[in-house]
Structures are given as C-alpha cells and as structure tokens.
Amino acid sequence: MNSPVRIVDSMPNRKYQKKVHTEAYSLHEREYKDFGVTTIDSFINPSICNTILNQISSFDFAKICEANPLFSIKKDNSRILQISPVLDLSEALITFLDGKKLTDIISNLIGTDEVDIFRDKLILKPPQTGHFPVHQDYSWWHPYPPDSMCTAIISLCDSTLEHGPVQFFEGTHSRVLLPKGERRALTQKEIRSSTAGKSTYTKNLKKGDITLFHPLALHWSPSNVATTDRPFLYIGYIDSLYKGAYERQLQVQNDVLRQT
Ligand SMILES: O=C(O)CCC(=O)C(=O)O
C-alpha cells in the first residue's frame, strides 16, 4: 500500500555540533553522559499516567487503522502488544508533553535549544510476552547523528524485575555497532564483544518514573513473567534541526512492524 505521507527530509548541510556544556552537570546529566541512561523518579503524577492509559485504551483501533494506514498495532492473538503512534490518542499525554518540563531536560542532555518528538509508541507487554533481543535503537534511525536523539520511557505502571524491565549495558553509547541498513538485533558474538566488562542497569520502576536513554545505549528486555501488563510509553526526541523526522520514522516503524 502506498503511504499518503510524503517524507520530506531536511538534513542540515553541516556537521552536527552539540552546544558546549558550560554549567556543572546535574546528577542525571552526569549519568546520561557516563552510562547513556538515567532515571528520574516520580516525574509525572501517577493519576495522569492512569488517565493517559485509559484514554489510549478506550480508542476504537479498527477505526484508527482504517483512517491512518501508518497506524500500527502489534497483537498476540487478541492481546495488544504495541500501539504506534499514540500521541493523538490521549489529550492528557499531549498536555504533559506540551509542558516544557521534559523537553527542557532532554534539550540539555542532547545539548541543543529545542527538540521535537520523532516517534511515539506504547508497549503494553502483557504477561508471557515481550522479549526484546539486545540491540541499539540507532540501527533503525541511521540518517540522523546519534547524539542528536534521546528516548524517554514513561512508566505507566509500577514494575518489578518480573515484568521484563529494559536492561541497559552501561557505557555502550559511544559506538555505532551495526552498519547503516542493518536493522537488526546483535548476534551472540557481537553481544559478547560489545558488552565485555560492562555493568547492567535495570530498575524496579514506579508509575510516573521516566528513564532517558541514548540511541546507542545497548539494551534488551526479558519476557514479562508477572501476572499484570507492563505498559511503558516510548517517546523519542530529536534536535529540532531535523525536520521531517517524525514522518520518516513512522514509515520505518510501520515497515518493521509489518515484517514481524
Ligand atoms: O519495552 C521493552 O521491554 C523493550 C523495548 C525495546 O527495547 C525497544 O522498543 O527498543
């Protein structure tokens, strides 16, 4: 099916340069710089998380799929595993993201004045689902410089190690591991060589915590072996220099979801 969305790339014609950091690093900036991942506790009110989840879940997905061919739902029998995009499905989410609180933090981490959202998805991870192999998100995002992007995971539930948390390998965010075009997880051999000596970063999270991670931060997650879903929102940000990134990424993500 041809996509109605025309992808307009506007790649600035110069080498990507981060702003020079002049102030002392905050704890989170330091962690992000050193490990490629950091978590801010209780960033968003749990009642707002409930509203976001209720608003997204109450949509008639069959109708949305009909209206927007780039809308994707990944299912396992009748259970919904992933939904993307989600921005338009929740007013509470838009209100939260429109507030400058999160974008200011992310702009600082990226080292720029302004950022835009370039992808958004909800991973519901019902029980007995959701193993993700070791990968760098950047393998799917090649046209853009890695340092120009950052992903925020918004925890919409309390989760423990049983819920299949995302596990990061600290300090793996300075190297692009796969060549452009290889949109895949790592082989066992590649995992061994790129994670030797690296510590892992995994947390029990509370509803409302936000984890921020670099697109090169190597990560994976085991299946959810708890008895409840583990809904996490993934909001990807990019330096606002890169126009058209949202439409491009939607198309890439849609192609990938349809292949799996
Ligand atoms: O939510 C998870 O368990 C992992 C998701 C993930 O690794 C990804 O979307 O890149």
Examine the pLDDT at 5 and tell me if it is beyond 50. Answer: no
Band the pLDDT of 120: cuts 50, 70, 90.
Answer: very high
Q: Confirm if 210 and 102 have CB atoms less than 8 A apart.
A: yes
Q: Which tokens go with 23?
A: 């102030």
Q: 214: closest CA among 12, 28, 23, 50?
A: 28
pLDDT, greater one: 1 or 222 = 222
pLDDT at position 133: 98
Cite the DSSP H helix spans in the chain. Answer: 27-35, 46-57, 61-67, 91-98, 100-110, 188-195, 245-259
Residue range 27-259, CATH number: 2.60.120.620
122 backbone dihedrals φ, ψ, rounded to 5°: -115, 125
Ligand 1 atom 10: the closest Cα is on which residue?
137
User: What pLDDT, in 10s, does the model give residues 173-190?
Assistant: 999 999 999 999 999 999
Summarised one tens digit per residue, pLDDT across range 64-96 is 888 887 888 888 888 999 999 999 899 999 999
Number of H helices and E strands in the chain, helices first, is 7, 11
Tell me, in angstroms, the distance from the centre of ligand 1 to residue 13's CA: 32
Q: Is the pLDDT of residue 192 over 90?
A: yes
Phi-psi group of 244: left, alpha or beta (phi > 0 → left; psi -120 to 50 → alpha; rest → beta)? left
What pLDDT band is residue 7 in, cutting at 50, 70 and 90? very low
Name the residue among 193, 232, 175 with its Cα closest to residue 39: 232
Q: Is 232 in the pocket of ligand 1 (CB under 6 A)?
A: yes
List of residues 6+ apart from 150 with CB closer than 8 A? 32, 106, 109, 110, 115, 212, 213, 214, 215, 236, 237
Cα torsion through 140, 119, 79, 3, rounded to 10: -80
Nearest atom, ligand 1, residue 234 CA: 9
Which atom number of ligand 1 is nearest to the Cα of residue 137? 10
**Mean pLDDT, rounded, of the chain:** 90
Best of 151, 234, 252 for a ligand 1 pocket test (most atoms within 8 Å of beta carbon): 234
Residue 247 has pLDDT above 70, yes or no: yes
- The length of the chain is 260
The two tokens of residue 176 are: 């692009």
Helix (H) or strand (E) holding 217: none
pLDDT band at 255 (very low <50, low <70, confident <90, very high): confident
What are the tens digits of pLDDT across the range 16-62? Answer: 777 767 666 789 999 999 999 999 999 999 999 999 999 999 988 88
- 221 Cβ inside 6 Å of ligand 1: yes
pLDDT of residue 233: 98
Would the pLDDT of 4 be above 50? Answer: no
Q: Which residue has the tokens 């990507």?
A: 16
pTM over 0.85: yes
Residue 16 Cα, ligand 1 centroid: separation in angstroms? 27
